[in-house]
Amino acid sequence: MTRNNTKYHGRGTDLNPPNRFDKLYIDEYDDSSEFQDEWEENDRKIDTIFYKDDSRTVIAKNESPDIGFDYSFNPYRGCEHGCVYCYARPTHEYLGFSSGVDFESKIMVKQNAEKLLRKEFEKKSYEPKFIEFSGDTDCYQPIERKLRITRNTLKVCLEYRNPVSIITKNSLVLRDLDILREMAELKIVTVTLSITTLHKDLASKMEPRTAIPERRLTTIKELANNRIPVGVNVAPIIPGLNDEEIPKILKQSAVHGAAYAGYTLLRLPYSIKELFINWLDQEFPDRKEKILNKIREMRGGKLNESGFGKRFKGEGEQVDAIKNLFRLSCKKYGLNKREIKLTTKHFKHKSGVQIEMF
């Protein structure tokens, strides 16, 4: 494990814990200035490197009963947003990288995503269902400004009329309003903004390269004004740190036009426990033990529970209190009044054959 005495500027963690797997050879992506995002101009201590991802497929089928979607699409692997709590960090270890600084500074780029997605849709065996953008990364992380992989794949989804559900922490989603408006008219898109806190200082510590909370709220408003179904995900809820903000986040989201809301509890699989504890040592040493103890209360005495049915929901009195607070706040601010359903009835192959499905 490597560690600096001071935290990297603009990074979520300064640790690189050991990889659980054998290292793999990875071909380096072109890291010329053409592919560097705006953060490259800052005086940070570590640069981002981009690598070619030669995956042969881009749609991942969900096998977990805890997740409410069948397919997910990740245009990138790793995420420069640098959220210290990100449950997806350990996935980088399958690539020969670390879940720490590597996850946010060594990004795999699926440069053939548009072509591969089109190929998937043209398969006779393809069964149209809504696709989650994204499950293990943010499809609107900074490099998307230059590479436009998310935008190009959304165009493919619109062309074939395959429904999409987007979740992001970045206001860059507004760049694609032209596509989203057309998809909304067909009822094949929803957009969810993930908001962890309304405090800018806390957000800058937990998720250093995301849009500031105020900007996420204005993004909700802009999407709603364009008649695009939009909601908020209060995620993750960290007891003793941001759980008291649940009503405020829901109220402000509703005021800005959110129609629905959800939440997730903090998950600390594998090395994320170590990264999160190290972060608490740096940022909230006086509250560290209180926060960790509250997490254990939700996880049966442990810092993480990986079992199906429990890993997202947790258990105990504290979990029940969060659930009730969330439910009552949604009712108070008019969220989740109706279920927003996406349709697959418009899906059609390039040949023009339309499949009647819901």
Residue 232 to residue 248: CA distance in whole angstroms: 12
Place of tokens 């903000």: 245
Residue 128 in any domain: the answer is yes
Which residue type occupies 260?
A: Y
Query: Is 142 inside a domain boundary?
Result: yes
Number of domains, the chain: 1
In a domain, 342, yes or no: no
Is 259 contained in some domain?
yes
Q: Output the DSSP codes for 173-237.
A: GGGGHHHHHHHHHTT-EEEEEEES-S-HHHHHHHSTTSPPHHHHHHHHHHHHHTT--EEEEEEEE
User: Measured between alpha carbons, how far is 74 from 136 in angstroms, rounded to an integer?
Assistant: 7
d(CA 260, CA 334): 9
Cα–Cα distance for residue pair 355/159, rounded to 1 Å: 14
How many whole angstroms separate alpha carbon 71 and alpha carbon 345?
Answer: 17
Q: What is the CATH number of the domain that holds 131?
A: 3.20.20.70
Do the domain assignments include residue 324?
A: yes
> Which pLDDT tens digits describe the chain residue by residue (358 residues)?
544 444 667 778 878 776 554 434 444 444 444 433 333 444 446 889 999 998 899 999 887 666 777 899 999 999 999 999 999 999 999 998 999 999 999 999 999 999 999 999 999 999 999 999 998 999 999 999 999 999 999 999 999 999 999 999 999 999 999 999 999 999 999 999 999 999 999 999 999 999 999 999 999 999 999 999 999 999 999 999 999 999 999 999 999 999 999 999 999 999 999 999 999 999 999 999 999 999 999 999 999 988 766 777 889 999 999 999 999 999 999 999 999 999 999 998 765 555 444 3
pTM (2 d.p.) = 0.87
Is residue 210 domain-resident? yes
**Beta carbons within 8 Å of 199's beta carbon, 6+ residues apart:** 213, 245
Nearest Cα to 236, choosing from 270, 215, 264? 264
Within 57-175, residue ranges assigned H as helices are 101-105, 113-122, 144-147, 149-160
Give a yes or no: residue 77 inside a domain.
yes
260 part of a folded domain: yes
Instruction: State the residue range of the domain holding 45.
Output: 2-332
